[in-house]
């Protein structure tokens, strides 16, 4: 997968070039093409923004450098613009995007985009109901969530399927040594060696975490008979 990023701050993107994603780059599991759209300006001062028509505070990013930067790309694939008013990013979108050959992100900075820039993108996507100074951090989050799903990026190939959101439940609690930390003990079942019991316990605890912290995730989820039984137990355990 090749990901293009149109940004005024390519230097901000180092977090994607270290650790697992960095190794993925070295191993050519994915490619990152950072494009500074200031390079596509034609005036001597390399302006990328201008004052808003109609007046008002702040500056507005102009369409021309972004359009030219997009046109310079051979394979754009899906074009995503980051904006607080876009639809909220989630794991399902990461899964869909991870199947694409190419993706292109447009990062805004400063006050905002000329409205016509949105027409250059296939979708506007937000990472949540808060406003950041630019689209770089949202883009990095979305790239991280997408690229980690590509084959060969995570050490353990089975891990993306087992975790939060991918099966509609939060993750079950995990423990490692010591078995007893200042009186806080690891649940006995995990040291029992009984794999069937461990799997059942994990399933129930994933359901418990979801019921307690993200009950909204259970609304549209079809529970199996086993899960319905577990949920009844969880509710009665909560009452007692």
Shortest distance, position 215 Cβ to ligand ADE, whole Å: 25
Q: How far is the CB of 239 from ligand ADE (least distance, A)?
A: 39
Q: How far is the CB of 135 from ligand ADE (least distance, A)?
A: 5
Please say which residue, 101 or 129, places its beta carbon nearer to ligand ADE: 129
Interacting residues of 217 by C-beta distance below 8 A, sequence separation 6+ = 168, 169, 170, 210
Nearer to ligand ADE, 107 or 207 (CB): 107
Give 131 or 158: the residue with its C-beta nearer to ligand ADE. Answer: 131
The DSSP call for residue 100 is: -
Report the residue number, 10 or 173, with the smaller CB distance to ligand ADE: 10
- Least gap, CB of 84 to ligand ADE (angstroms): 4
List residues binding ligand ADE (CB under 6 A): 82-84, 126-128, 130-132, 135, 138
DSSP string of 102-165?
EEEEE--BSSEE-GGGGGGSSEEEESSSS--SBSHHHHHHHHHHHHTTSTTSSSSTTHHHHSTT
Q: Residue 235 Cβ, how far from ligand ADE at the closest point, in Å? A: 36
Nearer to ligand ADE, 41 or 141 (CB): 141
Nearer to ligand ADE, 53 or 130 (CB): 130
CB of 7 to ligand ADE, least distance (A): 12
Kindly state the DSSP code that residue 191 receives in the 8-state scheme: G
CA dihedral 82, 83, 88, 90 (to 10 degrees): 20
Instruction: Measure Cα distances from 114 to 48, 90, 117, 124, 200 in Å.
Output: 11, 26, 6, 14, 54
**CA–CA dist 81, 102 (Å, integer):** 15
Q: How many CB atoms lie within 10 A of CB 118?
A: 16
Phi, psi angles (nearest 5°) of residue 185: -100, 150
């Amino acid at each position: 997968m090749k990901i293009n990023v149109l940004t005024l701050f390519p230097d901000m993107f180092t977090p994607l070039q270290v650790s697992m994603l960095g190794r993925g780059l070295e191993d050519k599991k994915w490619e990152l093409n950072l494009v500074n759209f200031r390079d596509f300006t034609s005036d001597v001062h390399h302006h990328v923004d201008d004052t808003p028509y109609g007046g008002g505070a702040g500056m507005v990013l102009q369409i021309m450098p972004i359009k030219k930067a997009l046109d310079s790309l051979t394979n754009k694939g899906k074009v995503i613009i980051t904006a607080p008013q876009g639809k909220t990013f989630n794991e399902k979108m990461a899964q869909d995007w991870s199947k694409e050959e190419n993706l292109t992100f447009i990062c805004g900075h400063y006050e905002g985009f000329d409205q016509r820039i949105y027409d250059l993108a296939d979708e506007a996507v937000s990472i949540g109901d808060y406003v950041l100074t630019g689209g770089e951090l949202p883009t990095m989050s979305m790239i991280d969530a997408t690229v980690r799903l590509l084959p060969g990026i995570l050490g353990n190939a089975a891990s993306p399927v087992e975790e939060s959101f991918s099966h509609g439940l939060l993750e079950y609690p995990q423990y490692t040594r010591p078995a007893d930390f200042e009186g806080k003990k690891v649940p006995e079942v995990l040291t029992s060696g009984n794999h069937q019991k461990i799997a059942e316990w994990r399933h129930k605890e994933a359901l418990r975490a979801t019921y307690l912290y993200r009950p909204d995730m259970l609304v549209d989820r079809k529970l199996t008979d086993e899960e319905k039984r577990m949920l009844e137990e969880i509710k009665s355990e909560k009452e007692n």
